[in-house]
Amino acid sequence: MPASYENLLYDLDATSGILTITINRPSKLNALNAATIDEIAAAMQQALDEPTVRGIIVTGSGEKAFVAGADIAELAALTPAQAARAAERGQEAFCRIEESTKPVVAAVNGFALGGGCELAMACHMRVAADNARFGQPEVNLGLLPGYGGTQRLPQLIGKGKAIELLLTADQVKADEALRLGLVNHVVPQAELLPFCHQLLSKILGKAPLAVGMVLDCVNAHYVKDANGYAIEVKAFGQAFASDDFKEGTQAFIEKRAAVFRGK
């Protein structure tokens, strides 16, 4: 049965194995409060624990906003110590997305500002509707990104441009986000979710173990003191022991489509 969350919609397509997690606070433009952050972490853990979930789409309710930022009224009431803990919780939730061995695509429909931009960047890939807007406006409030934005934005678009956007709080339109490498694709609003389903379906036709290993190895490059090359070598050897490798090579020899079982 689908899970029930107060601030999220958790919708699993049993046929494709694609789960759609929708931030569902439309009256607040899907702004992230503490409860929503906790629910994102819980929903991601549930998705990772459910074998029937094979790929994940993260999006926002409505057409105006993916996530328009954090809940500023809630943040303003925090003490410095409470704010630091809130940032830790946000980072923990978003790292759960980034470290997922199941592919996660952000379907960015409208504003992705502050925590919304950080949420999108935590996903493995980003597809933007043509009305999407990205930005980290925290310096306008005397703040800075707290959910990983200062770390992930430079990884995606380079240090110099990332610093410019972080310090000016400028917003980036969808076409500019594509040029910068912040998003993978830009599509019309009406085509956003179908395109994300198509992209994930293509990936889900590949060997599940290999897909997960690729995600682990790519992430290892950004982990301090981790040797991504060594992790890749180990994963490469492990892949040779899998049934998926045997099936993939046999299917290639026999000139047929492979049927992977994730073993």
Annotated catalytic residues are 118, 138
Whether 164 and 213 share a structural domain:
no
The reply to whether 135 falls in a domain is yes
Whether 17 and 125 share a structural domain:
yes
pTM beyond 0.85, yes or no:
yes
The reply to whether 1 falls in a domain is no
Query: DSSP letter string over 92-159?
Result: HHHHHHHT-SS-EEEEE-SEEETHHHHHHHHSSEEEEETT-EEE--GGGGT----SSHHHHHHHHH-H
Whether 200 and 127 share a structural domain:
yes
**143-199 confidence digits (pLDDT tens):** 999 999 999 999 999 999 999 999 999 999 999 999 999 999 999 999 999 999 999
The reply to whether 127 falls in a domain is yes
Contact yes or no for 182/157 (Cβ under 8 A): yes
Whether 130 and 217 share a structural domain:
no
Whether 72 and 152 share a structural domain:
yes
Q: Is the pLDDT of residue 233 over 50?
A: yes
**106-149 confidence digits (pLDDT tens):** 999 999 999 999 999 999 999 999 999 999 999 999 999 999 99
Write out the residue range of the structural domain in which residue 110 sits. 8-204
Whether 151 and 224 share a structural domain:
no
Whether 36 and 152 share a structural domain:
yes
The reply to whether 22 falls in a domain is yes
- Rounded to the nearest integer, the mean pLDDT of the chain is 94
Residue 226: CATH number of its domain: 1.10.12
Residue 193: CATH number of its domain: 3.90.226.10
Structural domains in the chain (count)? 2
The reply to whether 261 falls in a domain is no
